Structure 1
Amino acid sequence: MRLSSRPWRACHGLALRLFGLLCLAVLAGCASLPVIVPDLARRPGPPVQLEGARGPLSAAQSKAILERLRSGGQDTDIFARHLALEESIVGSPLTTGNQVQLLQDGPATYRAMFEAISAAQDHINMETYILDDDEVGQSLAQALIDKQRQGVQVNLIRDSAGTFSTPAAFFQRLMDNGIKVLEFNPVNPLAARKDWALNQRDHRKLLIVDGRTAFLGGINISSVYSGGSFSQGARDRARRVGTPAWRDTDLKLQGPVVAELQKLFLATWASQKGDPLAAKNYFPQLEGVGRQVVRAIGSSPEEPYSLIYATLLSAIGSAETSVYLTNAYFVPDPQLLAALEAAAGRGVDVKLILPSRTDSWLVFHAGRGYYEQLLRAGVKIYERHGVILHAKTALVDGVWATVGSTNLDWRSFLHNHELNAVVLGTEFGSQVQAMFDKDLAASDAITLAQWERRPLHLRLKELFARAWAYWL
């Protein structure tokens, strides 16, 4: 979702468009992004070391786990060629002993989130882009208020632009009941607590309960997610009300990686100069609860380059057999285009599942403007029909998977605070593969011959939309 599913915000909101117009003249001479990633040359590095519930594992233990992850997968060299480089780029540790549950669409995600909130004993930390004052938003607000009244401290970060249309009374009710609410980068410059930068937004979606359970992905708090995208009931409802279901993906995580996500939440709170938080057990002793190896990656425009972007380029550059991307907003810069084309050129099976319809007209047509170039390079493109595609997932060689909030566009890579989890191994990779195959079966293939015959009015829309790429 961009600023919202609502029509007035479908092209990222009037405020951002006006701001973009003011800056467009300054940026008109910039034909492409600067090189914002570090040197991704493949060089030998130190052995990858994993962290467990009680700290770093030995080199032998780490090697044994990585060998287990490698076994049973496709013939890939991604572990040797990518993981050490990823670690040097990102800095956050690979953690083992985690449990990861793949959640598809709003109903399953909300159900799991509300169960976790209901069981909270110490604190709830939540960070979201959109929090609508609708049925889902009101239910969440009441659940949080109920826990606050029980002595569970609730801390909420909400993006100012993403929640711009949510009434102030909605958040005042939360604060009146003791919940700490922090407005990220207020749209109103008079309310700014640090340097005002309208275009920098908090696009993360994160819920942490008791420092032990976390949720992240693409799902905002809004009733547009109330219907599952795969069920017949959802399709029937979409036909009745004229609004398609939203297709999205989230993760539920437990284990040592939750501490890394907690660090990111607290760092955002501190950087936004939020009021001091109540003393709670934000970092409980975490035991291993599963076999999944996970890395949490947060990106910020305040960093020299997007950490998520850098590690995605590294993964694509290391791919040996397959690169499968599902993404809601696809406006690639030259570096991502080159990585996808190079992978297809060396025989990697590169498939993109993109929307057939969207809540952002500009992004939709800007992305389509790259189809011909990619198709000629051997990249396979599919458009998901019957739903609003909002998922942001990737699977490389069947063993490197990521789910999060990051879109494949300049806004995510340059302007937004984003959050992803990278999960390694064939066990989780097979789940993502099954999900990808299911979406693929509900998608239409775009062929080069077909695309070359598209009408003139679509080509004109693509040209116009691509002029806005930097702001999308």
Structure 2
Amino acid sequence: MANRPHRARDLFQEMARRRRSDHWLNTHWWILTLGEWIGLVLALGAIVSLPCILLIRRHTLEYHLEHTFAVSDPEFLGSALAMSDPVPIEGNAIEVLQNGDEYFPAMLDAIRAAKKTVNFEAYIVYSDEIGRAFCEALSERARADLEVRVLLDGVGSSWSLNNSDVQMMKRAGCKFTYYHPTHSLRVDRTNRRSHRRVLVVDGRIAFTGGVGFAKRWGGHAQDKEHWRDVQLRVRGPLVAKLQSAFQQHWAKTSGEELSGADQFPGLTAAGNLKAQIVSSHSFSIAPVPPVQAVAFAAASRRIWITNAYCTPTPDQVELLTKAARRGVDVRIMVPGENNDQPLTKSAGRGAYGKLLEGGVRIFEYQPTMIHIKSIVTDTLFSMIGSSNLDPRSAEINEELDVVVYDRDFGRQMEETFTQDLRQSREYTLEQFRRRSLWERTVEWLAYPFRSQL
């Protein structure tokens, strides 16, 4: 009888030991090595990050518009710009600079002639002879006690621009920052890039378009190593709108507000062009697709498109083919064999069949990569800038385009298109139907990822 308390105590202790050993902290899956824990954390991070990267985008609508008014009608411009700024700005002078031999010297001269401020935003700046020329010009102005601000995209430039060039600009006195840098913990921003290009000097002259600041954009499109592109030089009241577009990103990344006469001087008319900008922003209705949709639906005679990365959406295909069927001359110029993004081309080529069957003509530029992003409708309406005709520009990237409502300017744009057309080869419906099994397979695989390419 004396041993019963001991046996009861031993039984109680054994039961307690078993309960402790069965606790989830003592299970095998919890007892991991340091390497296993690191792998688990990275895997969980990837699971959380992937939806952020792939799914966070602007809201877009499908536009199924009818031809109820023309480009020349008074309601056209307000309808096209309803998602951005429907009030056009008059009194501007806008020049189209052709290829690097024209736009790079003009931009560098403007920087070197700056008196008070220089604001520069770009997607791509390389540490080559072109990129360094801009880094040095910006640094020289900063050393001369001017206010110089440099804003580069965290993906487009951070891998191609040497830290030594960045440090040179900072030591000279440039205020420098990256837009959505890749080392940020904000993984939701990783895929949202600034695709804008804008240079504003003294608040009085501006340049914008789609060029990169690298050697391949130099020259005059004379060979495969020198691309075909254009850039706009702007004077007049529209410069303040381009300065405002720079300010939007600069304030977001640096926390600094731009104000005063050195940034926003009083601007008088410099020409007779009526124009406006279209700038896209995160978490807003995409403003570029309605501009394109209204321009396509309103066209009566001509839609001429040049686009480097063309992956039109189904509603854009519908609008373009409807225009062609009512007698509009619809032409799309895209890169030919010289294409730096073949997967993007494959993702968009699946739409060629319906476009060609609907009467749209497609041309492939032959000499080199063509990087222009422009639309001209009925000679009267032109759009040029950084936006591609693809879901990524519409839904994800921060873009900046200029629209001009002027017949003389439209004629210049049509002349540019005509000159490039002479060096292009038409892509026919027969070619589309004869493409290889490999081409069809790549198109099928690339299509689901078209918004990411």
Match of 2:201 among 209, 221, 246: 209
Superposition map of 1:8-157 within 5 A:
22-23=50-51, 35-36=60-61, 77-91=71-85, 93-157=87-151
d(CA) in 2 for partners of 1:345, 1:24: 41
One-letter identity of the residue aligned with 1:138: R
Give yes or no for the alignment of 1:371 onto 2:343: no
Q: Tell me the residue number matched to 1:352.
A: 332
Give yes or no for the alignment of 1:310 onto 2:325: no
CA RMSD of aligned residues (A): 2.6
Superposition map of 1:170-319 within 5 A:
170-190=165-185, 196-229=188-221, 234=222, 238=223, 243-275=224-256, 281-303=262-284, 305-319=285-299
Deviation (angstroms), 1:145? 1.0
Which has the higher mean CA deviation after the structures are superposed, 286-295 or 18-27?
18-27
Q: Tell me the residue number matched to 2:35.
A: none
One-letter identity of the residue aligned with 1:420: D
SS at match of 1:411: helix
Are 1:92 and 1:297, in contact at CA under 8 Å, matched by a contact in 2? no
d(CA) in 2 for partners of 1:149, 1:278: 22
C-alpha distance 390-79 of structure 1, shift in aligned 2 (>3 A): same
Deviation (angstroms), 1:444? 0.4
Q: Tell me the residue number matched to 2:378.
A: 397
Q: Tell me the residue number matched to 2:16.
A: none
Are 1:325 and 1:394, in contact at CA under 8 Å, matched by a contact in 2? yes
One-letter identity of the residue aligned with 2:286: S
One-letter identity of the residue aligned with 1:226: G
One-letter identity of the residue aligned with 1:36: L
SS at match of 2:288: helix
The structure that has the greater radius of gyration is: 2
Report how many aligned residue pairs link the two structures: 405
Deviation (angstroms), 1:350? 0.5
Superposition map of 1:371-450 within 5 A:
371-450=352-431
d(CA) in 1 for partners of 2:261, 2:74: 40
d(CA) in 2 for partners of 1:146, 1:25: 38
C-alpha distance 41-210 of structure 1, shift in aligned 2 (>3 A): farther
Q: Tell me the residue number matched to 1:328.
A: 308
d(CA) in 2 for partners of 1:87, 1:373: 28
One-letter identity of the residue aligned with 1:139: A
SS at match of 2:441: helix
One-letter identity of the residue aligned with 2:405: L
Any gaps of 5 or more consecutive residues in structure 1?
A: 1-17, 28-32, 45-75
Are 1:78 and 1:319, in contact at CA under 8 Å, matched by a contact in 2? no
Deviations 1:368-413 (A, max 9, x none): 2211111001110000001111110110001100110000111111
Deviations 1:159-183 (A, max 9, x none): 0000121222221221111101121
SS at match of 1:416: coil
Are 1:203 and 1:416, in contact at CA under 8 Å, matched by a contact in 2? yes
SS at match of 2:82: helix
Are 1:99 and 1:291, in contact at CA under 8 Å, matched by a contact in 2? yes
One-letter identity of the residue aligned with 2:89: T
Which has the higher mean CA deviation after the structures are superposed, 177-186 or 458-467?
458-467
Deviation (angstroms), 1:85? 1.2
Q: Tell me the residue number matched to 1:168.
A: 163
Are 1:98 and 1:254, in contact at CA under 8 Å, matched by a contact in 2? yes
d(CA) in 1 for partners of 2:198, 2:322: 34
Deviation (angstroms), 1:313? 1.1
d(CA) in 2 for partners of 1:319, 1:151: 50
Q: Tell me the residue number matched to 1:56.
A: none
Deviation (angstroms), 1:38? 7.8
One-letter identity of the residue aligned with 1:417: E
One-letter identity of the residue aligned with 1:448: L
Deviation (angstroms), 1:41? 7.3
Deviations 1:407-450 (A, max 9, x none): 01111111100001001111101100100001111110111123
Deviation (angstroms), 1:338? 1.6
d(CA) in 1 for partners of 2:203, 2:276: 16
Are 1:399 and 1:429, in contact at CA under 8 Å, matched by a contact in 2? yes
d(CA) in 2 for partners of 1:25, 1:403: 28
Are 1:189 and 1:196, in contact at CA under 8 Å, matched by a contact in 2? no
d(CA) in 1 for partners of 2:258, 2:164: 22
Deviation (angstroms), 1:23? 4.3
Any gaps of 5 or more consecutive residues in structure 2?
A: 1-45
C-alpha distance 293-308 of structure 1, shift in aligned 2 (>3 A): same
One-letter identity of the residue aligned with 1:217: G
Identity of aligned pairs, percent? 32
d(CA) in 2 for partners of 1:395, 1:307: 18
d(CA) in 2 for partners of 1:439, 1:197: 37
C-alpha distance 40-282 of structure 1, shift in aligned 2 (>3 A): farther
SS at match of 2:369: strand
Deviations 1:14-69 (A, max 9, x none): xxxx9999449987xxxxx975268967889xxxxxxxxxxxxxxxxxxxxxxxxx
Are 1:316 and 1:396, in contact at CA under 8 Å, matched by a contact in 2? yes
d(CA) in 2 for partners of 1:38, 1:343: 14
TM-score normalised to structure 1 length: 0.81
C-alpha distance 279-25 of structure 1, shift in aligned 2 (>3 A): closer
d(CA) in 1 for partners of 2:113, 2:62: 41
